[in-house]
Amino acid sequence: MKISIIGTGYVGLVTGVTLAEIGHEVICIDVDAQKIEKMKQAASPIHEPGLSEMMARNIAVKRLAFTTSHQSGFEDVDVIYIAVGTPENEDGSANLMYVEQAAKDIAENVVDDVTVVMKSTVPVGTNHKVKEQICNAVKGRVKIEIVSNPEFLKEGSAIEDTFLGDRIVIGSDSMEGAMVVAAINEPFGVPIYHTDIKSAEMIKYASNAFLATKISFINEISNICELVGANIENVASGMGMDNRIGSQFLKAGIGYGGSCFPKDTKALIQIAGNVNYEFDLLKGVVNVNKKQQLLLIEKLNQCTDKIEGKRIAVLGLAFKPNTDDMREATSILIVEELIRQRAEVVAFDPIATENAKSILHPLVVYAASVEEAVEGSDAALIVTEWEEIRGINLSVFQKMRRPLIIDGRNCFSLDSMKEYPIEYHSIGRPAVT
């Protein structure tokens, strides 16, 4: 099948590359000419394990191409995917500016009947509006089908998630559209769930909101564990053995970040609000996350007389390991607060440093290793559980002026910590002093 993808952000690029890998002829369109030129040379603009290799392989056999032109990008295509961003408006609702522009570009440039597939995360009802917008503009010149096909990839394991996903959701109001998208995806070998368009749109938001709820729930339990002397890891393991609960997304920490959970939880609150429904539970989830993100600062304040003038190592900046993505990373809030309290901040991240430099305060100093960051510091805050941090020899922390670790991701076992003269505070577990 010949497929065109509008938008080469995270979702668009991974979708395009993996669809080419299973044999489709794919052309990715983006307005950013510089980015398109780089991608033509198989240089991936995002850090995603396995993506560059897959890009190079499919470009070489001419199954994958890139362009800035909608006109040539839509030539002879059977299907057009919309995979543009839906950023957050100030009130938390989803901004549909790029989706509307994509619909306009489709209407102005398609010459044949086409199935439009919505990959972007859009509020319930958007697919119908987009179809109406395109149909009104093409005035019957061509036939348009629209299919909702939300994505469930995790950054850092996007390729794996595509080929070994739990389900592919196809929301369509016509058998024809559903069958086209099912046929495209069939080679992935992932179970397909067919439903109507609005339910598909809701599945995406509800799934992310549910996962965010699990995280905020376990984070609250971890805070209570600390107060009653229980250990959150034992609690989560015992809970997760119940299949009805499941063991995933029960890792207590310093809250969720990234480009999806923060945005999608707030958007769902808005979607509910638009039909006069107060989503109280989800509001709680968002508030708990806000509180949890500053927990390390609270713990640091409890361990230190004052933060001012102290050299603080911040270990890990990306919103999670295996990505250079800094969007809504908890590190942003932590560093901001440390600087506000006049600390000297030395940060380390294996790959997100370049992205961090354009976001974090200019006073932040960047170290090339964990060792360099912690040397001579008065405390080390662990923000992201990179392997480079989890696997470090603990003796490195003895080079600190005061060996104090406040670990927001429970990277080290309490037993291993007891072997070193290090004060260790983590999440939902007893302190080692």
Binding site for ligand UGA (CB under 6 A): 151-155, 208, 211, 215, 249-251, 253, 256-258, 260-261, 319-320
Separation CA 225–CA 11 (nearest Å): 38
Return the number of the residue (73 or 428) whose C-beta is nearest ligand UGA.
428
CB of 303 to ligand UGA, least distance (A): 23
Contacts of 246 (CB under 8 A, 6+ apart): 240
Q: Is the distance from CB of 55 to CB of 42 less than 8 angstroms?
A: yes
Return the number of the residue (211 or 334) whose C-beta is nearest ligand UGA.
211
Residue with tokens 């670790």: 405
CB of 160 to ligand UGA, least distance (A): 12
Query: What are 2's two structure tokens?
Result: 């010949």
Annotated catalytic residue 135: no
Amino acid identity of residue 78, one-letter, is D
CB of 406 to ligand UGA, least distance (A): 16
State phi, psi for 218 to the nearest 5 degrees.
Answer: -70, -30
CB of 89 to ligand UGA, least distance (A): 17
User: In the β-sheet with 25-29, what is the strand arrangement from edge to edge?
Assistant: 64-67, 25-29, 2-6, 79-82, 114-118, 144-148, 168-172, 192-195
Return the number of the residue (59 or 250) whose C-beta is nearest ligand UGA.
250
Return the number of the residue (299 or 320) whose C-beta is nearest ligand UGA.
320
Return the number of the residue (56 or 230) whose C-beta is nearest ligand UGA.
230
Q: Which one of the listed residues 225, 260, 303, 411 is annotated catalytic?
A: 260
Return the number of the residue (67 or 127) whose C-beta is nearest ligand UGA.
127
Q: Is the distance from CB of 254 to CB of 381 less than 8 angstroms?
A: no
CB of 175 to ligand UGA, least distance (A): 27
Query: Which residues are tagged catalytic?
Result: 260
